[in-house]
Amino acid sequence: MSITGDQALVKKINMSLALETIRVHAPVSRAQVAELTGLNKATVSNLVSDLLEQQLVTEIGPGQSSGGRKPLLLLFNRHAGHSIGIHLDVHSFSIALCDLSGQILFEKLNLRLLHSDPVQVTEQLSSVIQELIDLAPASPYGVIGIGVGAPGMVDEQGCVLFAPNLGWEQIPLRQWLQDRFTHIPVLVDNEANAGAIGEYEYGAGKHVQHLIYVSAGAGIGTGIMTRGEIFRGAMGYSGELGHMTIDVHGRKCSCGNRGCWELYASEKAILDPQKSLPFHTLYEAIQAAERDDADALHFLYQLGEYLGIGIANLVNGFNPDLIIIGNQFAHLERWIKAAVLRSVKQRALQSHQQNLNIVYAPLQQRSTLLGAANQAIRSFVGRAKVTV
């Protein structure tokens, strides 16, 4: 299929390309933008003039000269607008207002969901979103987007098709939020995908070609990135690896399967009827472990063993450079690290372990909300205004 476009479309594409290049590589000169994009210098000069006029780019002092006059360096104007990122979890949500560089200005972490009903969850989210909109400093473009990372399968329209841990099916979350914030674009993606983007842009995943973000907490999801892009699969639903079978005769899962990885390597392991544990939540288990409680220490070690089993499968299947363990499990490194590494060393192919790193998300529970905010920022950059 051939694609054609008029002058305005070509300029829009080129302007978005130039702006994204400045955002990612700043501080950068016009000549460097031309080199990085493949556009000629005259085209870049005209585009930069428009971007300066639109207050999307600013000029700073001169850079290094390679002969002749020193070039003026360009910066993406992070104060041109603001983005809202949300991490919707099973029992809680976190939300932040960011500038266009991903710097958090205001945040509310681990707010308890008052209901599981999707309509009431949408109302609660909307109330807090409005609070942050009201706190946003004055800027040329205001709040440019709202990004949401939600657990479960999410389609291209931002509909949550299936979120077994929330008990949701076919919930048009993006549309419901868009109906409330009609002048602000809303994006909804899977929370593990957003977490992978957050770590790639701002955390442990910078400059990493192949990474997998393992979001572990109430359940398990994975975001798979290759060369800076999320791997989404044929229908866009990849990453539901918390539901891969690791015990063929195992417990029944809320997804309808048996023996799913997340039953043994997430908070759900506490609910195993064959165990009689003196705690009922992951938070309580952590508190007990901090007191050196033997039951809690043993439980967390077993959790690490099972987490490592699933990670070994990911390593064998995808051969990543980096595994990032995030969400609530980002806080468990001191108790599970040895067990995770032991399982991976025993079960992953030696050839796949040679250049492998396993880390705990430096952004901790902010990975997903920052990734969601970044998706809104990328979308805004792609909508850069064009004057012809």
pLDDT class for 277, splitting at 50, 70, 90? confident
Handedness of CA 267, 269, 273, 276 (dihedral sign): negative
**Cis peptide bond prior to 151, omega within 30° of 0:** no
Most distant CA atoms of the chain, gap in Å: 76
For residue 140, the SS3 value is coil
Q: Is the pLDDT of residue 3 over 60?
A: no
Closest among 155, 193, 184 to 383, alpha carbons compared: 184
CA 90 to CA 67: how far, in whole Å? 58
Q: What is the mean pLDDT of residues 168-172?
A: 96
pLDDT class for 5, splitting at 50, 70, 90? low
CA 386 to CA 18: how far, in whole Å? 12
CA 51 to CA 12: how far, in whole Å? 12
Sheet hosting strand 322-326, strand order edge to edge: 229-230, 220-226, 210-216, 322-326, 357-360
Return the CA Rg of the chain. Answer: 23
Pick the more confident residue, 9 or 289.
Answer: 289
What is the model's pLDDT at position 63? 53
For the question of whether the overall pTM of this predicted structure is more than 0.75, the answer is yes
pLDDT digits (tens, 9 = 90+) for 22-63: 998 889 999 999 999 999 999 999 999 999 999 999 998 665
pLDDT digits (tens, 9 = 90+) for 239-255: 999 999 999 999 999 88
The separation between the first and the last C-alpha atoms of the chain, rounded to the nearest angstrom, is 27
pLDDT digits (tens, 9 = 90+) for 306-356: 999 999 999 999 999 999 999 999 999 999 999 999 999 999 999 999 999
Q: What is the mean pLDDT of residues 280-286?
A: 91
CA 200 to CA 226: how far, in whole Å? 10
What is the model's pLDDT at position 4? 52
Segment among 4-18, 119-133, 277-291, 292-306 with least mean pLDDT:
4-18
pLDDT class for 67, splitting at 50, 70, 90? low
CA 183 to CA 180: how far, in whole Å? 9
Q: What is the mean pLDDT of residues 154-168?
A: 93
- Cα 91 to Cα 88, 177, 326: the distances in Å are 8, 19, 17
CA 386 to CA 54: how far, in whole Å? 10
Q: Which residues fall within 8 angstroms of residue 130, CB to CB, at 6 or more apart? A: none
What is the model's pLDDT at position 235? 87
What is the model's pLDDT at position 10? 86
